[in-house]
Chains A and B, each alone.
Chain A
Amino acid sequence: MSVNFALMIGYFGFLLAALVLHSRPVASPWLFLLRSFFPNWRFFHALGRAPRLYYRHQSMGAWSDWHKFMPRAKRNWRQLFYNAEVNLALSEQNLVDHLANDLADCADDAAALRLVTYRMVERLVCEKLAGCAGLSAYQFRICLEQPGFDSAIHAAEAEDNTVLLSPVMPYAAGGA
């Protein structure tokens, strides 16, 4: 029994050391796709500037205000057993997070437009805009914002937080 407990103490000591010591991230396309095999249990670990998606559209020559994409839902207990819509919305926000990460590694704007995440977020914006009357063009941007930031109050600051401003794109029904 003492060997078991010594092993246990050693293991949790190792985990503690891993938390305190900084390690270099390892990047590879396969590691990214297979990251579920290397669990990252650091949930909600730190506040910081979170990537937020804003989009606007043009109808009849006039641009709308910027709309902020923020996954929100009404809760009820049945969602414990079936919560597909909320889980999808959270995945959409993850996609925006991944685009912001990819942008940090992007050499130039042309490379950004070719990113898988960029093209998926572009489709996400088209999906959100579907149904808008007289839609002819759209544009989106990614901003890094502190939690609790209100872009309606701090419009100028929102401009400063922008890390990506897409070109103005003609809207084609059926997606990007």
Chain B
Amino acid sequence: MVMTLALAARSVEILCGISLIIQSIEFLNLREALGPRGVWTYAIARDDLAHASRPVQNLFAFLAREDVWLVHLVLRLLAALVLVIDGASLLLVGFLFAGTLVILIRWRGAFNGGSDFMTIVVLSGLLIAMLVSVSGDPELGWRAGLIYIAIHAASSYFISGGIKLLNPEWRSGQALALFLDGGVYGPLSRLSLYWLRPVSAVCSWAFIVWECLVPLAFLDPDLAVVYCAIAGVFHGLVFWYFGLNRFVFAWLASFPAIIYVAGQLN
């Protein structure tokens, strides 16, 4: 299965838009945490920007105002909807990219870790596509954007698997059971099969081997489809055990880029 450039580009737009819609709705409902009575109140958070110039401090103080924050998030939600329905434009992607940056700085650099990283990666890919398109070569722009996303997505699996492979606690299966036990949906029942070392070791090795084998996905577009299908299951399990729902959609948005690049390499 070879994915065309048009299909890959449109798929990334739609999946990225869905991911941003979910994130925006969650952020809209988390405004209290950033408000004057919240943990992340700007009265304290502004000290993170003490090193910045006065104009930058003033800009972030303005953006952090409750009314401005609400307007920003509503506009972001609408922009994400437009991305799904109508596709990307430089103005739209530029706004979503800059807005994501502002949101992450307001949450002291990251809100949800890896999903923030991948959201920035996909938006950067879209921004590359739009910037090159504006200069007159949309096809080159989309190719560059998709390759950028595919490289980061593949790196994410390879590094995540590699770092576990180098760790004896992951290789023995001990780490998996203890991370699950400390997870948000934990603790594990004393009767859980994950406490059995052979079971947790087999599960750990399955993830490690699959993550480290990501280069194989680029040998054949059909392999890329299979790899991404397994990745979908993997992210579903990560959500089920750790509550990381944003990871599912952030990574889904990168799959068309992986499949497209695998097709181009063959």
Whether B112 contacts A87 by the Cβ 8 Å rule is: yes
Contact residues, B237-261 vs A (CB, 8 A): 239-240, 243-246, 248
Binary interface profile of A, 77-113, with partner B (CB < 8 Å = 1, else 0)? Answer: 0011111101111111011001000000000000000
**Which B residues fall within an 8 A CB radius of A?**
22, 25-26, 29-30, 33, 37-41, 44-45, 47-49, 51-52, 101, 104-105, 107-114, 116-121, 151-152, 155-160, 162-164, 166-167, 169-170, 174-175, 178-179, 181-182, 184-186, 215, 218, 239-240, 243-246, 248, 265-266
Contacts of A8 in B (CB 8 A): 215, 218, 265
Known contacts A46-B169, A91-B112; A19 and B44 CB within 8 A of each other:
no
| A-side interface size class | 35 or more
* Contact between A41 and B159, CB atoms less than 8 A apart: yes
- Contacts A41-B117, A72-B186: A46 and B245 contacting too (C-beta < 8 A)? no
Q: Classify the interface of chain B: helix, strand, loop or mixed.
A: helix
Contact B109 A33 (CB under 8 A): yes
Q: A5-B265, A39-B121, A47-B175 are in contact. Are A73 and B184 (CB under 8 A)?
A: yes
Instruction: Kindly provide the distance from the CB of B45 to the nearest chain A CB, expressed in whole angstroms.
Output: 7
| A contact set with B: CB distance below 8 Å | 1, 4-5, 8-9, 11-12, 15-16, 19-20, 29-30, 32-37, 39-47, 50, 70-75, 79-84, 86-92, 94-95, 98, 116, 119-120, 123-124, 127, 147-148, 174-175
- Nearest B residue to A37 via CB reads B120
Contact of B26 among A1, A16, A37, A87 (CB under 8 A): A87
Bound complex: CA A43 to CA B110 (Å): 14
**Residues on the A chain within 8 Å of B169, using CB:** 46-47
CB pair A36–B245 under 8 Å, yes or no, is no
